Amino acid sequence: MFFASCKEEIKPNVQVFNTTDLNKANTVLLEAVMEDAFTPPVASRMYAYAHLAHYVTLQSLRKDSLSDITNKINGLRQLKIPESDNVNPELSALLAFSKTGKKLIYSEHFFEDLADSLKVKAIQLGLSESTVKNSEDYALEISKQLSSWIDKDMYIETRTFPRFTSTKKPENWRETPPDYLSGLEPHWDKIRPMVIDSANVFAFKPLPEYSTDKDSEFYKMVDEVYQESKNKTEEKVKIAWFWDCNPIMTVHKGHMTTTIHKFTPPGHWLNIVNQITEREQSNYFTTTKAYSLTSMAMFDAIIGAWHVKYKTDLVRPVTFIQENIDSEWTPVLQTPPFPEYTSGHSATSASAAEMLTYIFGDNYAFSDNTQLRFGLEQRTFKSFREAANQVNLSRFYGGIHYIQGVEEGGRQGREIANLILKKLR
């Protein structure tokens, strides 16, 4: 305390926080979402809004370092910029991130602790108490404006919409083992997208007509998943589990059910951003762009994928195979509780890969250790797109998606990311 109080104060606009601080904030967000076991669509919303709050706050104070994107964000009017005298830009942006994260989460203590640690560190780094207070006030004002905009995205309304009831028709999705949960977020395409014009911007490839005839295209599409499961290798199983990203995996033993929490698919990609920017020692503004653009793209890609999912309402492989091919068959991975087409993880990953390719370049080799904490190995990729392509294969190897579902999901994610880039440019 004595040391901190006697440290020479520095000018408020000096950049004292760096990429490591932003990465730590992102980690807090990922951990909080995992702790509360939010589903991938809801998690993508939290990631995108928290990082957007950080971006717009920082941009309003460092106008020469980041482009203003507020007029490109759906429904977001030009913010009323508060008095910025004696405000530290990075501290204020990190506090806005924390305030927005706290608004969206159940476990608020994650962000209360983050904010407290940031303010303590600011004093230790030489910022005055008045600068810290002004920076917090600035963050609060920006966060209030964003909060009002966030509340109008239809999330609150969709919490009251009817649950999805399966038709029980053989061609349509039905509740799948082991938990037989009802359809997840059937109204997610009503959520306001971040940048794309609407949920239906993607023209998906038509599916083959449903048939149990072994010579039909539909049967062949399903049987491809079944035959793959008969020829699975240790490497393919490892790939499936590496990209599983099931935030609420259940393990059933007799009458006991254990729940295991993991990062969501978009959370996995934000953790990749964390690793890359730390390794590269990326500057604060490049890191800000990487988080913000990637999280926005994944948010919109999931909205697009969910629109197609409930529009096509396609049966999952496990249901068709058990009823028409092999009653004892089970997939490598647990089938998530929503229709198959298109693959949400594929759309999410492809959109992230496009954004990261845009920022860090093509053929950017990297290693990903996200799954080490869950007992899985580190994997290395030659590019972001190679990683996204492996995600496609992982869903097929895992027995939860058809090839057409993952290929079209990947194409959907790429197209949505490029639409966003075009609009932002």
Model-level pTM? 0.95
Nearest alpha-carbon partner for 387 in 242, 170, 186: 242
Rounded Cα gap, residues 21 and 15, in angstroms: 12
Query: Which CATH topology does 2-153 take?
Result: Vanadium-containing Chloroperoxidase; domain 2 (1.10.606)
* pLDDT tens, residue by residue, 351-409: 999 999 999 999 999 999 999 998 999 999 999 999 999 999 999 999 999 999 999 99
Answer whether 184's CB lies under 8 Å from 338's CB. Answer: yes
The pLDDT of residue 166: 94
Burial tier of 234 (Cβ tally within 10 Å: 0-12, 13-18, 19+): exposed
Count CA atoms within 13 Å of residue 394 on its CB side: 23
Residue with tokens 């919303």: 45
Closest by CA to 307, choosing from 398, 223, 167, 199, is 199
Residue 251 banded pLDDT, cuts 50, 70, 90: low
Confidence of residue 9 (pLDDT cuts 50, 70, 90): confident
| Stronger pLDDT, 414 or 2, i.e. the higher one | 414
- What does pLDDT average to over the chain? 95
Per-residue confidence band for 252, with pLDDT thresholds at 50, 70 and 90: low
Examine the pLDDT at 2 and tell me if it is beyond 50: no
Phi, psi of 348 (to 5 degrees): -60, -50
> Binning pLDDT at 50, 70 and 90, where does residue 213 land?
very high
Domain with CATH 1.10.606.20 in the chain: 2-153, 164-190+193-424
Residue 380 phi, psi dihedral angles, 5° rounding? -120, 140
Does residue 3 have a pLDDT over 80? no
What's the pLDDT at 271? 98
Q: At what angle do helices 109-124 and 89-104 cross, to 10 degrees?
A: 170
Nearest Cα to 244, choosing from 421, 376, 78, 47? 376
- Token look-up 């006697």 returns 6
Region 151-170: mean pLDDT is 96
Q: What is the pLDDT of residue 258?
A: 67
Which tens digits make up the pLDDT trace of 283-306?
A: 999 999 999 999 999 999 999 999
Please give the pLDDT value at position 78: 86
As its CATH architecture, domain 164-190+193-424 has Orthogonal Bundle (1.10)
